[in-house]
Amino acid sequence: MPVPPPPCTDHPDNDTGMWMVELECDCDGHPTVQVITIDTITHTAHLLPIYGSLRVPDDFSYHETLDQYRSFFVNHFVNHHAHEFIMTH
């Protein structure tokens, strides 16, 4: 179990310059979810888990990331057009 990440704040992280976001949960600690229509999506976001201080297990799959981590950095350094290159070459 990862060490709890630092709390999200109203300013970017001092070390990375990235904003932190966290999973929204109800009063029982269950994630809140909402189905949205595809036409409401305006752009993608690259989320980096805030790992904490423990080592990520060797057998960890990226498919588990949203279930295992509650807080993420929003990576504004990523090239949002990189997927176009990968998909066409």
- Dump pLDDT digits (tens) for 30-85: 888 888 888 887 777 888 898 888 888 899 988 888 888 888 998 887 766 665 65
Structure tokens at 1: 């179990």
34 within domain boundaries:
yes
Q: Which domain holds residue 83?
A: 19-88
**Domain count of the chain?**
1
Categorize the per-residue pLDDT at 3 as very low, low, confident or very high, splitting at 50, 70 and 90.
very low
C-alpha angle with apex 10: 26 to 31, nearest 5 degrees?
15
9 within domain boundaries:
no
Structure tokens at 68: 């295992």
8 within domain boundaries:
no
